[in-house]
Amino acid sequence: MNRLAEYFATDWEAMTVNDWIGTLLTVVIFLLMILAYFQVFRPKNRESLESRKHIPFEDDPPSGERDGRS
């Protein structure tokens, strides 16, 4: 077990600002992904998500109709 602990040992004092930013960004993205998975797979949200599943395949309206101009 000692070899495994040595392999994963981290020198926290030697970490630079970029190391900390990368570590924090990784943790934040991981938490956001968990939140997204819970929201998508929650049965309560099924009807809302099912009604929007074809949005990527719908044709866009012409640019003048999109913002109310002719």
16 part of a folded domain: yes
64 part of a folded domain: no
> pLDDT tens digits, the chain, 70 residues: what are they?
688 888 889 898 999 999 999 999 999 999 999 999 998 888 898 888 888 888 888 887 766 655 555 5
What value, to the nearest 5°, has the Cα angle with vertex 60 and ends 57 and 64?
A: 175
67 part of a folded domain: no
pTM for the full predicted model: 0.60
38 part of a folded domain: yes
Q: Provide the residue range defining the domain that includes 38.
A: 3-51
Number of domains in the chain: 1
